[in-house]
Each structure stands twice: as structure tokens, then as C-alpha cells.
């Protein structure tokens, strides 16, 4: 039987995978992968501010992630290519965050835990925050599903139907910030984007409808979290990277299956 800390870690992984998979479908549909990367990298600056101000890591990471996402949304289309802007902001925020951590007195920080995750250190309070955040994201997307889908498929048609695409973009921005904040301890800032993209991309070949793709992404994401935990336990490997590695293997198997069935 798993020890208590392994049960908590598995439950945390399942919660993050579930929320990331649902949101990841919109990240894939909207081609927001680099946007997610920028937001995740900015979370390290939030971690540094949280440690310096002695506030919750979750609150600091989410606040900075929201600010970063709003800055990117506000500056897009104003003289810079979006990928260039995202690249500058993402890596600048990560660098400033790493530098800021070094200036915090009397605090010894394991940066690897925030960059690649430390899911085995998840406590009961962390687990509660992760599940509340994950359920909030799933509930938010379920509530706005039809509007988000319409704004994703055709912004002009959505506007004509009384839906404001900009508002739906802000909903996704908020959801992304929450996912980034709750994922810090599970897979770390450098691997959050992978957990957003890979399960959704793996489910895409078999998703005949948007709802089917989202459900498939959740199944693949949760399977990746559970199998990744088991593999990490058996092989004594880093848990966060192992979860992402399992998701990558499932992505390859998904695409191989599609190729074989299409013949």
C-alpha cells in the first residue's frame, strides 16, 4: 500500500492533470502554447516575491501569472510579432525570478522544486488548495464552455451572437493563471506547458467533437499522472518529469494508432 505522502502526491497529480487537460484543449485550439509557457515562466518571479513577502506561494504565483498574461494580451499586435514578445517576456520573467530568489536573505530555496516540481512534498493544505484551484478551473470552463468554444472557432461570429471574444480570452487567462499556480509543486514551472499541451494533443486524433476531445484529454492526463507516479516510485526517477514523459509516450501511441487505423 502506498504511504500517505504518495497518496497525497497522486491525488495532487490527478487534480492538476484534470484541470490542465480541459484547459489544454483551448490552448491547442487557439495555438496558445507559447502564451502558456510565458505565463508559467513568470510564475517563478511570483515564487520569489512570495518568499520575500512571506505570503502564499499559490497567491504570489497566480498574481504574477495573471499580470504577465494581461501584459501579453495588452501588448500583442502593437509593433511586435507575438512569438517575439512572448519569448522576451517569458525568459525575462524567468531570469528576474531566479535573480530575485538569490537576494532573499535567510531563505534557502530549492529552485529545482519550483522549476521541475516536488510533488512528493505536497502536504494536506497544499492538496486542498490544488483541488480547489483545479475544480475552480474545470467549473469555470464548463460554465463558459459554449461561449469559449464560439469565440475560439470564429471571433466575428461570436461577436455577432452577442459574445465578447476579449472577455472569453480573459476567462482563459484567469484559468491559465490558476492552473500555473496549482501546478508549481506538481510539475514545476518548466513543465506546466507540457501537461497543458500533450494530453490535449494526444486526444485530438480521436476527438470527433470538442467535448469528446476534452474528455479524452482528461482521461489521458489522469492516466499520465497515475502511471507517472507508479513509474517514478518503481524506477526512483523525478516524479514531475516522469509524469510528462508518460504523457509523451501516450501521445506517440495515440498518433501511431491513428496511422494504423487510417490504413
Among the listed residues 91, 45, 96, the one whose alpha carbon sits nearest the alpha carbon of residue 67: 45
Per the CB < 8 A criterion, the answer to whether 170 and 218 are in contact is no
Is pLDDT of 1 > 50?
no
pLDDT at 107: 61
Please state the rounded mean pLDDT for residues 1-17.
Answer: 79
Among the listed residues 176, 194, 170, the one whose alpha carbon sits nearest the alpha carbon of residue 137: 176
Give the pLDDT band of residue 249 (cuts 50, 70, 90): very high
Among the listed residues 38, 54, 58, the one whose alpha carbon sits nearest the alpha carbon of residue 46: 58
Letter string b/e over residues 161-170, b meaning 16 or more CB atoms within 10 A of that residue's CB:
eebebeebbe
Is pLDDT of 63 > 70?
yes
Output the CA angle 175-219-215, nearest 5 degrees: 65
Alpha-carbon distances, residue 31 vs 26, 35, 72, 85, 194 (angstroms): 8, 9, 15, 15, 13
> Cα–Cα distance between 2 and 99 in angstroms, integer?
38
H helix or E strand, kind and range, residue 85:
helix 82-102
Contacts of 237 (CB under 8 A, 6+ apart): 231
User: What ranges do the domains of the chain cover?
Assistant: 4-257
| Residue range 163-222, pLDDT digits in tens | 888 888 888 888 888 888 888 878 887 788 888 999 999 998 887 889 999 999 999 999
Is pLDDT of 154 > 50?
yes
Per the CB < 8 A criterion, the answer to whether 101 and 84 are in contact is no
Q: What is the value of pTM for the model shown?
A: 0.86
Please state which of the ranges 34-43, 195-204, 209-218, 223-232 shows the lowest mean pLDDT: 34-43
> Cα–Cα distance between 113 and 88 in angstroms, integer?
24
Is pLDDT of 87 > 80?
no
Q: What is the mean pLDDT of the chain?
A: 83
Dihedral (C-alpha) 191, 196, 197, 203: value to the nearest 10 degrees? 130
Is pLDDT of 37 > 50?
yes
pLDDT at 247: 93
- Torsion-angle region of 56 (φ positive above 0: left; ψ -120 to 50: alpha; else: beta): beta
pLDDT at 79: 55
User: What is the CATH architecture of 4-257?
Assistant: Orthogonal Bundle (1.10)
Amino acid at each position: 500500500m502506498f504511504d500517505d505522502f504518495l497518496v497525497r502526491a497522486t491525488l495532487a497529480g490527478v487534480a492538476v492533470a484534470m484541470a490542465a487537460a480541459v484547459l489544454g484543449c483551448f490552448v491547442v485550439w487557439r495555438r496558445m502554447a507559447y502564451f502558456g509557457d510565458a505565463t508559467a515562466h513568470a510564475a517563478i518571479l511570483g515564487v520569489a516575491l512570495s518568499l520575500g513577502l512571506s505570503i502564499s506561494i499559490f497567491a504570489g504565483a497566480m498574481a504574477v501569472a495573471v499580470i504577465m498574461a494581461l501584459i501579453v494580451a495588452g501588448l500583442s499586435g502593437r509593433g511586435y510579432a507575438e512569438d517575439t514578445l512572448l519569448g522576451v517576456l517569458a525568459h525575462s520573467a524567468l531570469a528576474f525570478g531566479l535573480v530575485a530568489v538569490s537576494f532573499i536573505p535567510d531563505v534557502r530555496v530549492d529552485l529545482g522544486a519550483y522549476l521541475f516540481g516536488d510533488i512528493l512534498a505536497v502536504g494536506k493544505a497544499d492538496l486542498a488548495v490544488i483541488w480547489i484551484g483545479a475544480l475552480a478551473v474545470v467549473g469555470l470552463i464548463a460554465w463558459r464552455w459554449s461561449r469559449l468554444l464560439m469565440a475560439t472557432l470564429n471571433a466575428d461570429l461570436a461577436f455577432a451572437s452577442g459574445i465578447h471574444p476579449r472577455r472569453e480570452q480573459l476567462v482563459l487567462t484567469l484559468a491559465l493563471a490558476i492552473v500555473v499556480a496549482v501546478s508549481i509543486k506538481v510539475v514545476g514551472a518548466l513543465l506546466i506547458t507540457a501537461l497543458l499541451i500533450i494530453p490535449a494533443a494526444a486526444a485530438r486524433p480521436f476527438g470527433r467533437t470538442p467535448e469528446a476531445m476534452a474528455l479524452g484529454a482528461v482521461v489521458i492526463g489522469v492516466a499520465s499522472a497515475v502511471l507517472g507516479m507508479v513509474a517514478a516510485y518503481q524506477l526512483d526517477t523525478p516524479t514531475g518529469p516522469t509524469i510528462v514523459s508518460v504523457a509523451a509516450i501516450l501521445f506517440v501511441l495515440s498518433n501511431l494508432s491513428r496511422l494504423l487505423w487510417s490504413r
